Structure 1
């Protein structure tokens, strides 16, 4: 059985790998953009800059969220993930609008600039695909072993990055083969729209978490089922949840037989908490014991 320290080590390895890959890709695509002048490359570069910010924030969030609760933060530090995500969503949105605006101006221009060095640009984009694919494979392995939602979310983000990268490869190839340089602007606009869609999802999730929105109906239903079927629990009420980053907070009142001993009642509540924690490892669960009134 893996320990909490081993899980933290794996999560950190995924975080550091994510930051390292993002740094390499930003450097490569800066060179590719300067060489080709392709806006599709600029879109892919902007996405990688966002990746670097997201990955750095994710790495910081893994470290900060791992800190235990203290006097000033009685419920831990996992809300830092939501704060970082909200800021990242704003940055992604601004970049997407800038790219879409520049692409639109190039589309309506009577003399749009021609692309250059398409072959070198394609090589850079292919290297990006290989590096991103390798990172996703490692993140998949770590997420499967540790269940860390930050790593899992970062993995999904990098999977999404393959779209603008492959789009840039297509735009550069069409420009080199047929001279269709305007395709570059179209793909850049599509990539910007994709970035906006992702930013909206990230920002909305972070906003809901910061507003203490309840967990999903599926999570609530599973918690209710566990409580209803637990031995010794005669009823339950006031099931309340909220999320903070990748952490789930649960508050529940269970109704127990008042004739049993305090030790027996405590054992039932402790066993129920253990079952819920097993189902939702990243959770903080508080169970109140009430007397069943029939």
Structure 2
């Protein structure tokens, strides 16, 4: 097992702290919104609660991914453990779709019902939503600072996810204020429907990405073209073929055959291969690169 530098160890520590902060914030908001839902009966608050529940699941999965990111492959998992991220994402997307459908059904029934449900304790609900926004902004600021130091993509993705959560929180505030000031309880159902559709659309994208990875879908075309450009212009590489890629979790596995001058020494061939691998990893840090060396002999006169 290779020795980890002090910088790598410190980066791991920062990433784990960011993951723990994300879990702590999500847990706090789930508990606060559970109370707010019971106090107000607002479906928009319920939609925001489901979103925070999703946040907690994503944060826990992200923390697990960060914790295990540095683990090397073992005898049973020669390519590492990154596919667990895809399995977790698929489970999360299924949960979101089910929750979104339930909220959509409840909101539609309430909106079409002749007996409109009166909301209560709107002030308490608004206070909880404001707390949610403040904590979310603080967490995003911390995550971005950590990501800028460590370059961790899990932390960066979690930060982007929390930024998207601001929309349903603000929608819940708008519906509660409209119910209190104008008596427009119908807005609560409309906001809940919008939030449910937003969550279901996001769940579909997450699920599709996870399924693509589990089915060994190749990397995006732009990434393949970039790797091809590096291999095709690297000094000492006379040609390349059989470039294959597959995605697993946050990692892309790359296999590449390069053609080298058969008259050069084994040491020189190894140096060219190692240099090309380092160049690809520099451009695409999330990759795992395996290069096969093929011998090419120039035609003799």
Q: Which residue of 2 aligns with 1:191?
A: 195
Deviations 1:10-64 (A, max 9, x none): 1111110110000000111111111111000000001001111111111112223
Cα distance in 1 for residues equivalent to 2:95 and 2:297: 54
Cα distance in 2 for residues equivalent to 1:143 and 1:197: 27
- Structure 2 residue runs without a partner (length 5+): none
Pair 1:100 & 2:104 matched = yes
Q: Which residue of 2 aligns with 1:160?
A: 164
Aligned with residue 126 of structure 1, among 116, 124, 130: 130
Cα distance in 2 for residues equivalent to 1:118 and 1:89: 31
Deviation at 1:213, TM superposition (A): 0.5
Aligned with residue 173 of structure 1, among 159, 177, 202: 177
Cα distance in 2 for residues equivalent to 1:3 and 1:75: 25
TM-score w.r.t. the length of structure 1 is 0.97
Cα distance in 2 for residues equivalent to 1:267 and 1:2: 27
Q: Which residue of 2 aligns with 1:145?
A: 149
Deviation at 1:293, TM superposition (A): 5.8
Cα distance in 2 for residues equivalent to 1:19 and 1:271: 40
Deviation at 1:173, TM superposition (A): 0.9
Pair 1:203 & 2:223 matched = no
Q: Which residue of 1 aligns with 2:37?
A: 33
Runs of 4+ in 1 over 3 A off after TM superposition: none
- Structure 1 residue runs without a partner (length 5+): none
Cα RMSD for the two superposed structures: 1.3
Deviation at 1:243, TM superposition (A): 1.2
Q: Map 1:5-84; keep pairs closer than 5 Å.
A: 5-84=9-88
Q: Is the 8 A contact 2:44 2:189 kept in 1?
A: yes
SS of 1:68 mapped into structure 2: coil
Aligned with residue 268 of structure 1, among 267, 272, 286: 272
Q: Is the 8 A contact 2:263 2:297 kept in 1?
A: no
Cα distance in 1 for residues equivalent to 2:244 and 2:94: 30
Deviation at 1:178, TM superposition (A): 0.6
Q: Map 1:253-264; keep pairs closer than 5 Å.
A: 253-264=257-268
Cα distance in 2 for residues equivalent to 1:4 and 1:105: 53
Q: Which residue of 1 aligns with 2:252?
A: 248
Q: Is the 8 A contact 1:258 1:291 kept in 2?
A: yes
Cα distance in 2 for residues equivalent to 1:257 and 1:68: 33
Q: Which one is further off, 148-157 or 236-245?
A: 148-157
Q: Which residue of 1 aligns with 2:285?
A: 281
SS of 2:237 mapped into structure 1: coil
Cα distance in 1 for residues equivalent to 2:211 and 2:238: 36
TM-score w.r.t. the length of structure 2 is 0.95
Question: How many residues are paired up?
Answer: 294
